[in-house]
Structure 1
């Protein structure tokens, strides 16, 4: 059955308190679909639904929930039940949940965990948020470099049930330093008597525990890795980061950049779970700042009152021209911010990109000037057409220059380039556009400055 059918049947079973039907229907749902269904219920009902699942399946579905939802459910669980849920969870998800809990609850829950899980949680929770150490898991398979293929296969069989991935195996020396990697495919296809040392790959792509998580995602994407090993300062293997975790990071970083591009900032827990006050608080600061920034546009218009009085037709073209400059600037800023975020563009590229942007902006401006000159001729005659066309060319070029330069300036200052958002670029380009337009009009139409 499809998710839509199962979810409707589950709602009906919940309405009539049919526990047997609920258990059967929940077992039919994929863990991700069950998590999606749970998000539509209140925390108490969500917890009751999860309790219809065996513990391993319950932990898997729980892992698909947003952190805010996980914390709401954790608040309703006794410490023993919470510890029982955390035990079958992947090590990285277990540590993330632990970090969400208030400190008194952390210590109370730890007492109900087995010693191995307790030490693992403490170790992973100690790494700084947003780094490779906080993202990694300790569920992986290692083999000693002196082992034979037959011994390595036997070790894989023993440890595979607890590992997050077994397709990539990590070869360690006697001091647990990472010396190579070996794929499960290579292990299976070679002779049982072959040496692991002879088969392993020593050209390693790895990350240190303090590497930022966006760099981790970039490494996994660049080298098409199933998992990235994480080492400490002594090159000892301490964990791995799987590609699915890297995908989550990439999505999170892209979402954060998009939000910053709208002058909103990061929304913890996502849009669906954000409170009204949070949405207000995230948006109001920049909106108020930009209101005052737009005073410069108003001051520019006030300065050229005599020009406007002499040629009232100029007002008709004002929104068209300044919006064009803002749009061109927003396009340029979006390209630069994304280029910097992906590593495609560096500070040293500014001069080269500036020249290219000016050539492109000139082409854009000329094309738009030609289009608007026809309208200018119709509305105000040849003189107005010349003013509007020349203004369009200059405004688009200046807007593009602002849009492409602002991310570089912010990056050089150590700020997030995503702050060079569309509203900010548009506001600056608007003020510049007003001054350019009426300045050109005053000069070409023979009016006093």
Structure 2
């Protein structure tokens, strides 16, 4: 947080309104605000001293921060944004409607206004959109003692001081990075480069996807990573907490997509009824149309069903098994692709792995099906007819084929979507299940025709 500027003193009524937050730490205070009506939460924030209000607004866990800022006096809102870290101020500013942004922009101090304009230029979910421009950078020819003194002077206005970036004195390009631990252990008169890390600094381009940024931070065990332009000038830094917040939001979006719906951009209880219908109806409609193909497939095999009604008893069992195996494979592959454990070129390795895996899983289920049919037949719980053994063999063979196909198709779908430029998470479990349902019926009745031809069929 920057050095606070008290814009006004709260009166007695304001102090009373904000009293419940006095005894709470920051996390609990944010949770308290989240539980309140938005108008009440906005009033409480307005009643707080500016440093405390800014501290709460800077927490990513605070819901609808843009809404709370939009309901304030423009001068107060501008004062708040001016005291925040630039990346958080940009997030809140971006959430305002166009009218509020236009009214508020010219009330911001020049530094904040310029920083927000620069950060708004970068596409969402990139290093540039995540970075903050408030970091510690010093010339590479300084001493340890001079650098420490500078850190003491500016630390309140910087997002983090755990890493200090050393710049070429003339070109202002990134030369090296020194950690705070190394800095405080150095001799005051020693050159700063003497305590810097020995390996070249790890840096990213402003257009890099946030998932790749997170991978680099995890791989190199960093607390922050610099964002540089083509000439090596430091544009900003991405801190590990900003990456975590972004990835949690992205993971939530992926979970929604995988469930077969559009991602929610608000907490569940704050989504209006109409918006909830709109988010869910589209995918349900698409899946319903897909399931109509299942009805068409059953109509195609109407004669076989009429001659061997017993086959209909196992349709739900077989279809669900294929859908479940496909969903398992899809879940595994989406995660592996997200973690960069696999590349697009590895699709054939995955296929060679999933084909035998699916066949063995199908065989296991097939043996269970045979046992179940035999027990029911011999125990007199159900009479599958004189050809019950062939019926059991048909079910077992169909399970091998359908579960194998489900595993293969479920594993290949994320590769196909990523190759076409779509998010692999769009390969939702309901979508895979619908695909396997339609093809599974064809496999089921084709196998039944081969095994039961001349007997039941």
The answer to whether the superposition gives a TM-score over 0.5 is: yes
Q: Select which of 349, 357, 361 maps to 1:352.
A: 349
The corresponding residue for 1:403 is 410
Contact map agreement 2:142 2:192 (CA 8 A) in 1: yes
Q: Which of these residues, 384, 388, 395, is aligned with residue 388 of structure 1?
A: 395
Query: Could you say if the C-alpha distance between residues 69 and 339 of structure 1 is closer, same or farther in structure 2, counting changes exceeding 3 Å?
Result: same
Which residue pairs with 2:144 in the alignment? Answer: 149
Q: Which of the numbers 232, 242, 245 marks the counterpart of 1:245?
A: 242
Q: Which residue is equivalent to 2:52?
A: 57
- Contact 1:261 1:422 (C-alpha < 8 Å) held by counterparts: yes
- 1:2-401, aligned counterparts within 5 Å? 22-64=17-59, 69-174=64-169, 175-201=171-197, 202-377=199-374, 378=377, 379=382, 380=384, 381-401=388-408
* Alignment partners' CA distance in 1, 2:421 and 2:106: 43
Q: Which runs of 5+ in 1 are unaligned?
A: 1-16
Cα deviation for residue 155 of structure 1 reads: 0.9
Q: CA deviation at 1:55?
A: 1.0
122-131 or 172-181: which moved more?
122-131
SS at the partner of 1:228?
strand
Q: Alignment partner of 1:391: what SS?
A: helix
RMSD: 2.0
In the alignment, is the contact (CA less than 8 A) between 2:127 and 2:206 conserved in 1?
Answer: yes
User: Is contact 2:67-2:96 (8 Å) kept?
Assistant: no
Q: What per-residue deviation string (whole Å, max 9, x for no partner) do you get for residues 110-130 of structure 1? A: 333222222222222222222
TM-score (norm 1): 0.92
SS at match of 2:165: strand
User: Structure 2: 5+ residue runs without aligned partners?
Assistant: 1-11
After TM superposition, give the deviation of residue 23 of structure 1 in Å. 3.8
How many pairs were matched up? 433
Could you say which residue in structure 2 is the equivalent of 1:11? none
Cα distance between partner residues in 1 of 2:139 and 2:407: 57
SS in 1 for 2:79: helix
CA contact (8 A) 1:39 1:65 kept: no
Cα distance, 1:103–1:308 mapped onto 2, change above 3 Å: closer
Q: Secondary structure at the match of 1:51?
A: helix
